[in-house]
Amino acid sequence: MAKSDHVSALKRVPLFQGLSDRELKSIANDAREEPYSAGQNIVTEGSAGGAFFLITEGRAEIVKGGKVMRKLGPGSHFGEMALFDSSP
């Protein structure tokens, strides 16, 4: 995905609305794409939140206690608290 596509995706995240294009480009420049395989854990419940995730392709599920709490797809995001605090 091109950096310009990252900026477009970030513009749709409520947390980043109100930021200038310059600020969004700065965030996009620090972003990196991480591919995950089907069934692979991205974050484990109770672990320190170390990153903000924005789904650009595919699907993910939020599972708590073995139960699917929410299904996520392109444009969905999670891990916002990692931007402010790394505690679980």
In the chain, what are the domain boundaries?
3-35+47-83
At 86 the pLDDT is 54
Q: How many CB atoms lie within 10 A of CB 7?
A: 20
**What CATH number was assigned to the domain covering residues 3-35+47-83?**
2.60.120.10
Q: Rounded CA gap, 7 and 26, in Å?
A: 9
Local structure of 28: helix, strand or coil: helix
Question: Helix crossing, 21-30 with 3-11: angle to 10°?
Answer: 120
- Host H or E run for residue 8: helix 3-11
Q: What is the tens place of the pLDDT at every residue in 18-56?
A: 999 999 999 988 888 899 999 999 988 878 778 899 998
**Taking 80 as the threshold, does the pLDDT of residue 62 lie above it?**
yes
The pLDDT of 56-64, averaged and rounded, is: 92
User: Considering the chain, what percentage of its residues have pLDDT values greater than 70?
Assistant: 91
Question: Length of the chain in residues, anyone?
Answer: 88
